[in-house]
Amino acid sequence: MITISNVQKSFNKTEVLKDISIDIQDGEIFGIIGQSGAGKSTLLRCINGLESYDGGTITVGNNVVDIKDKKKLRSLQKKMGMIFQGFNLLERLDVYQNIALPMKFWGIPTTTPAAKEKITKLIKLVGLEEKVHSKPRELSGGQKQRVAIARALVLDPEILLCDEATSALDPEITKGILALLQEINKELGITIVVVTHQMEVVKQICQRVAFLSKGKVLAVGRPEKLFVWPKEQEIRDFLREESDKLPSDGVNLKLFFYGEGNQRPIVTQMSQELHTDFNICWAKLEDFREDVYGSLVLNMDEKDLERACAFLDSKDVTWEVIK
């Protein structure tokens, strides 16, 4: 659906996107995560032509995104709804009018029965039936974001681009917005790209994610693959995981559990079989969409390490010695 090939971009001679290549599939919820300044928003803005790029190509469907070709760009932009952290709602317009705004912009009549039906349906989808005639100042942050989402959907886009759509919201409201995005993806079949620095967002809804660092793609893959057992030091630093809390003597061995593995009494079995005690010094269970992934760190004597690893291998448990 979206193909980004070797894209480069500089601002005032500083390269902010360096040879970025990402393929986003039709119907996918794709995440772009990374530290502040990594280039996430810039990349998103390049996808919908709000920003130009200097090298490489971006295609949406089969069309190249080229900001010089204004006419083609406009019709491409029509296919892409966008939502921002700041909502960007017009204060003097009510909920209904804000949602109808893109239709006005495109010269589509907003008072026909078909238009009214569509807007009313969207208001229902985002759960704002009671607020149809409220002004943005009368809404909570979560409600404002719901208006922004409905507005982004009013032209029947194929793609929804979200830039930090939940960053300003509290965790409970964030959950609701993420559930809504999932529903939109499932029910309407819309491809969704979410730019975020929130792990929770990626874990809850993204099927795949790209980790951006200093304008480069560090890794792309399923969130559980990338974040349960990150190989890249930068991703570990980003997650700020267990490493600074572990004992400095002995060895620390990290175990990973997926799905069914969560239910096996591996550690107690290992302790009994090897006639040794282990100190459990760190553990975590995480939800990734429907699945639960767990990891825990055991501290042990150096002399027990080899036997422990052999035991874990025999039980097909993934492990890693933490340096």
Ligand X SMILES: Nc1ncnc2c1ncn2[C@@H]1O[C@H](COP(=O)(O)OP(=O)(O)OP(=O)(O)O)[C@@H](O)[C@H]1O
Pick what 16 binds: Mg ion, ligand X, none; C-beta below 5 to 8 Å, kind-dependent: ligand X
Q: Return the residue of 17, 31, 41, 205 that touches Mg ion, per CB under 5 A.
A: 41
Pick what 197 binds: Mg ion, ligand X, none; C-beta below 5 to 8 Å, kind-dependent: ligand X
- Binding map of ligand X across residues 168-197, x = CB under 6 A, - = no contact: -----------------------------x
Q: CB of 80: closest distance to Mg ion in angstroms? A: 17
User: Whole-angstrom Cα distance, residue 1 to residue 27?
Assistant: 8
DSSP 34-86: ESTTSSHHHHHHHHTTSS--SEEEEEETTEE--TT-HHHHHHHHHTEEEE-TT
Which range touches ligand X (CB under 6 A), out of 33-41, 100-108, 109-117, 137-145?
33-41
Task: Give, as ranges, the residues between 193 and 232 that touch ligand X (CB under 6 A).
Answer: 197
Q: Is 16 in the site for ligand X (CB under 6 A)?
A: yes
Q: CB of 102: closest distance to ligand X in angstroms? A: 24
Question: What are the two backbone dihedrals, phi and then psi, of residue 304, each rounded to the nearest 5 degrees?
Answer: -90, -10
Question: Which residues 6+ apart lie within 8 Å of 196 measured at CB?
Answer: 31, 32, 33, 40, 162, 164, 165, 166, 167, 202
Which range touches ligand X (CB under 6 A), out of 20-28, 34-42, 104-112, 273-281?
34-42
Query: Under DSSP, is residue 26 helix (H, G, I), strand (E, B) or coil?
Result: coil
Nearer to Mg ion, 38 or 139 (CB): 38
Q: How many CA atoms lie within 13 A of 96 on its CB side?
A: 15
Question: Which residues 6+ apart lie within 8 Å of 102 measured at CB?
Answer: 151, 152, 154, 155
Q: CB of 36: closest distance to ligand X in angstroms? A: 3
Contact 233, 276 (CB under 8 A): no
Nearer to ligand X, 139 or 195 (CB): 195
Task: Give, as ranges, the residues between 36 and 65 that touch ligand X (CB under 6 A).
Answer: 36-42
Nearer to Mg ion, 48 or 252 (CB): 48
Best CA proximity match to 19, nearest among 218, 210, 219, 216:
216
**Residues interacting with Mg ion, by CB under 5 A?**
41
